[in-house]
Structure 1
């Protein structure tokens, strides 16, 4: 006999499609959603889950959804500096594919297997290899008089996770990388410094802002539509089955996404316009180009997405020396952690 899934189960499965989370976090999150909603809001959720919302792709704003419902199911942030940090991380993840394919260091794999938007911030679950690329892309440094990386980015290494913060922002602006040990972080940092040709030491953190960083922060030049990019990172589970993904800003209002395998552009666009768990907007306009690219305009978020699927793998630069440095640290018999170093110098 068929038994209709409970509302909590349906909410959990809906969120899983966007975040890639497991039951250990999904079930509590779904239960918390039900607790936060009143009877009328629960009924609205059930009605929407039972409805056909595909007309939203063609500009139909219905069904309109209470923002409280959206935020309890999948939380977005309205803090501009948090959006900027998440945008930089999203764009860095869109470059991971360029470091693939050189020996066993980084075979084709999920770029980021899970994202967890919470009331305290955003938690990412990724491999140590992906973290290595993230640091190589984002750590700020001087390159021939020009700033490379994200101005103000600093890290805090905790016992079981790494925290990425902005030195010039409030302490609440942060993104956590879960399940990161000192050994893993040290290996990721070794890769980043070798690939980028610069020096970095955890004992220097938090380092003061450099002159180039001060200038970049004062100019406040955000790469692309930050509200849209932040919301996309919080739904990165939509691309967890992709073998590679490229994400590039086109001007200040457009993000171009290219990927292989996984969902099609039409499927991704439909998920992004879902009334409850999709992007926090109620009016979309979509168009399809001759090569199959779907252009999704999100007026309420001030940006546009270009979604394109590929069959071929893009070219990659040679990163052999950086991965060699990574392996030397990750396979070291007794890597020295911050605590033991402090004990030795005492």
Structure 2
């Protein structure tokens, strides 16, 4: 019996929890993608949606291998190594923002990092709609700089400022591979850099237009640009809203080929793991092994990601009432710099002052 909902609406309902999109952008995007598929392919997608995929949690699949065109139509992943590194670096930086955002009081509320993670029109583009207060601490963690002879931040990160967005890219790849920060104007961007300068020190003023320095070139040449498996982390970033309304989130390496997410609030690790192995909208990979490690821990072993060996994703949800696994950092001076740039009537002079320091 045919499903009563159209394929467009079924796929939109499937994609929405992964990306956080609203119908105004989601339905047209899915509709455009479906036009690239034949009638037989659309019928096959209906069949996949009607079939269970529970055995994928245990390393098997009850359905035939999904045509990669189906996944690209619904929620594409990038196979470009440099784009994966860019997105992995951004995810890692987002996972370092919690100490800057945690309130000084005992009362906390959900503070998700991104409302929407929207696939771009090209596979090597992602659009982030960051939540309030995230851009500045993210840039403090992401901006490349040399500290005591060691590179911190994402080697090669550069930025192009547009009228209503800032586009992040890597200098050795060019601006066509990018992550766009939606609804980020020049004033907001300059304020975020003012915050960053105060956090990392005046001698480490971020310059995201210069050529690669020796430390960046070394990190790129030795393959040490990101400390986490790039393809896996890129896939997680593109599905970040699946975690739900988290109170805090940390991201860190878990062994040489592992990635660990810790959070409070939001969805449970079991629900997140089940979503991430979905054949159409989940992570790229040919085989998954999901193992509960207790009430709040789940590990996902992923094999078959193109260009990447077997990787491990560890998911841990802490109680909302538990003490976070980080120490709050007082950034009141940096926040004051941010506010000064955002509210300055003579904005041009603030911009010149920041650049000349």
- Name 2:38's counterpart in structure 1: 38
Runs of 5+ unmatched residues, structure 1: 342-346
Matches of 2:99 and 2:318 in 1, distance apart? Answer: 15
Query: Does the alignment pair 1:214 with 2:222?
Result: no
Runs of 5+ unmatched residues, structure 2: 353-357
Matches of 1:53 and 1:291 in 2, distance apart? Answer: 22
Query: Does the alignment pair 1:16 with 2:16?
Result: yes
- Residues 290, 12 of structure 1: alpha-carbon distance in 2 compared, 3 angstrom cutoff: closer
Query: Does the alignment pair 1:310 with 2:318?
Result: yes
What is the DSSP-based 3-state SS (H/G/I as helix, E as strand, rest coil) of the residue aligned with 1:336? helix
Count of residues paired in the alignment:
336
What is the DSSP-based 3-state SS (H/G/I as helix, E as strand, rest coil) of the residue aligned with 2:328? coil
Per-residue deviation at 1:260? 0.9
Matches of 1:157 and 1:200 in 2, distance apart? Answer: 21
Matches of 1:189 and 1:260 in 2, distance apart? Answer: 29
What is the DSSP-based 3-state SS (H/G/I as helix, E as strand, rest coil) of the residue aligned with 1:70? helix
Superposed counterparts of 1:1-346, under 5 Å: 4-63=4-63, 64-102=65-103, 108-120=110-122, 121-127=125-131, 129-198=133-202, 205-221=208-224, 222-290=226-294, 292-301=296-305, 302-311=310-319, 312-314=322-324, 315-336=327-348
Contact 1:164–1:174 (8 Å) recurs in 2: yes
Per-residue deviation at 1:111? 0.7
204-213 vs 35-44, which moves further:
204-213
Q: CA RMSD in A?
A: 2.2
TM-score (norm 1): 0.91
Matches of 1:73 and 1:329 in 2, distance apart? Answer: 40
What is the DSSP-based 3-state SS (H/G/I as helix, E as strand, rest coil) of the residue aligned with 1:246? strand
Contact 1:248–1:256 (8 Å) recurs in 2: yes
Contact 2:97–2:141 (8 Å) recurs in 1: no
What is the DSSP-based 3-state SS (H/G/I as helix, E as strand, rest coil) of the residue aligned with 1:129? coil
Contact 2:290–2:301 (8 Å) recurs in 1: yes
- Residues 334, 103 of structure 1: alpha-carbon distance in 2 compared, 3 angstrom cutoff: farther
What is the DSSP-based 3-state SS (H/G/I as helix, E as strand, rest coil) of the residue aligned with 1:247? strand
Matches of 1:127 and 1:66 in 2, distance apart? Answer: 34
Matches of 1:277 and 1:232 in 2, distance apart? Answer: 11
Deviations 1:35-63, CA, capped at 9 Å, x for gaps: 01111211111112122211210111332
- Residues 262, 108 of structure 1: alpha-carbon distance in 2 compared, 3 angstrom cutoff: closer
